[in-house]
Amino acid sequence: MSPPSEAPAAVIFGCAGPELTPDEAALFRAVNPLGFILFAKNCDTPAQVRHLVETLRDTVGRADAPVLIDQEGGSVRRLRPPQWDDVPPAALFGQMFEHDREKAVVAAELCGRLIAAQLAPLGITVTCAPVLDVSFPDTSSVIGDRAFGSDPAVIVELARAFCKGLADGGVLPVIKHIPGHGRATVDSHLDVPRVAATAAALQAIDFAPFRELASQPLGMTAHVVYEALDPDNVATVSATMIGDIIRGEIGFDGFLMTDDIGMGALKGDIATRSAAALGAGCDAILHCSGDFDEMQGVGAVVPPLTEEAHERWRAAAAQLSPVSDVADAAELAAQLSALIDHVGIDVL
């Protein structure tokens, strides 16, 4: 399908620092990326982040351009004390679940609501969380406490509550890393993880949380090779994994973005990687580093969103409900801390 003329480019860009440079602004105006993603290097104070978010949106002339961040909790949180309240890791809620199922689910939802209360006042509309990966004894430390646990049913219950908290607070979740990073023993930031599990084992365990939460609006791929399904390509650039598994077996029909296209698990230059991921069926490229030369390379080859991808994005954005009364993040953090203390679990 040919894309509609007004479709933005199929890429989400990072930027180098807390303020946009003139060169970055000019590039973003020329490329018209779908949106942007922030990291700790971009976030100093609430006022500064709000200004940066507004400036980014001004470059593309879209007040509703998505601005993303990795605010999971635990080791992966870009907004940190003292400017922002701390957020516990997902594994803590899995540990709580073993002691008190009901309170664990409430706490997971409250955590999502807390993250939304941190992000919404800044104008950030998407957080790349929750992680739905199933934890195994030899799971790479890059996942670690970011996973809710080792039981797919528990992951589903906690992740669904977490997503509800985010959505109620006016922030869209991104389920990741589809179709599952848990069996990977290698950090995909550095090298290619290869998973040797059978298709039956993957379908029964690893894919299960994603299948149960397939109605979520946004998803992120895994840079992992699943040898039983496509021994030659990581899922991000595999038409088999995206078409047959993510869209087919798992049933995810939301907007699918890559994990960071600059990670070590991918081969070739940035332009080659980007074209391969879009050709395999990803809706958009996620380029996180803010490296200007790389962004120029991506911008030169990435086309506008396809009509199908644009419609998926519109459907996702339609789930972003404005919140008239933004909750107080400090109050939510206190409530969450009290609930965790009541169950008697130490923050990991």
Catalytic residues, by residue number, are: 189, 259
Q: Around Cβ 106, how many Cβ atoms within 10 Å?
A: 18
What DSSP line would sit under 66-86, residue for residue?
-EEE-EEETTEESS-TTTS--
Q: Classify 37 as helix, strand or coil.
A: strand
Cα-Cα-Cα-Cα dihedral of 45, 48, 54, 60, to 10°? -110
Nearest to 178 by CA among 126, 251, 115, 227: 251
CB 219 within 8 A of CB 257: yes
Q: Rounded CA gap, 177 and 190, in Å? A: 16
Residue 33: Cβ within 10 Å count:
26
DSSP 7-18: PPEEEEE--SSS
CB 178 within 8 A of CB 252: yes
Three-state secondary structure readout of 102-156: HHHHHHHHHHHHHHHHHHHHHCCCEECCCECCCCCCCCCCCCHHHCCCCCHHHHH
As a dihedral over the C-alpha atoms of residue 246, residue 249, residue 252, residue 255, rounded to 10 degrees, the angle is 30
Q: Which residues of 288-327 are buried (b: 16+ CB within 10 A; e: fewer)?
A: bbbeeebbebbbebbebbbeebbbbbeebbeebeebeeeb
Tokens of 212: 């149960």
Residue 45: beta bridge partners? none
Q: What angle in degrees, to the nearest 10, is found between the helix axes of 152-168 and 101-119?
A: 40
